[in-house]
Amino acid sequence: MRLSGKVCIITGAASGIGKAASLLFSKEGATVIACDLSKENLELLVKENPGPGIIDYYILNVTDREAISKMVNDVVEKYGKIDVLVNNAGITRDALLLRMKEEDWDAVINVNLKGVFNMTQAVAPIMLKQGKGSIINTSSIVGVFGNIGQTNYSATKAGVIGMTKTWAKELSRKGAQIRVNAVAPGFIKTPMTEKVSERILTALNEKIPLKRMGEPEEVANLYLFLASDESSYITGQVIGIDGGLVI
Ligand code: NAD
| Domain spans in the chain, listed from the N-terminal domain onward | 7-241
Mutate to test the pocket of ligand 1, among 10, 17, 160 (most ligand atoms within 8 A of CB): 17
Residues 116/137, Cβ–Cβ less than 8 Å: yes
For 7-241, CATH number out of 3.40.50.720, 3.30.565.10, 3.30.70.3280, 3.10.20.30 equals: 3.40.50.720
Q: Which ligand 1 atom is the nearest neighbour of the CA of 61?
A: 19
Ligand 1 centroid – CA 156 distance (Å): 13
Look up the ipTM and state it.
0.99
Please report how many Cα atoms fall inside a 13 Å half-sphere around the Cα of residue 204, on the Cβ side.
17
| Per-residue pLDDT tens digits of the chain, which is 247 residues long | 999 999 999 999 999 999 999 999 999 999 999 999 999 999 999 999 999 999 999 999 999 999 999 999 999 999 999 999 999 999 999 999 999 999 999 999 999 999 999 999 999 999 999 999 999 999 999 999 999 999 999 999 999 999 999 999 999 998 999 999 999 999 999 999 998 888 988 999 999 999 999 999 999 999 999 999 999 999 999 999 999 999 9
Single-letter code of the amino acid located at 37: L
Cβ proximity of 75 and 7 under 8 Å: yes
Nearest-atom index, ligand 1, CA of 17? 26
State the CB neighbour count (10 A cutoff) for residue 52: 12
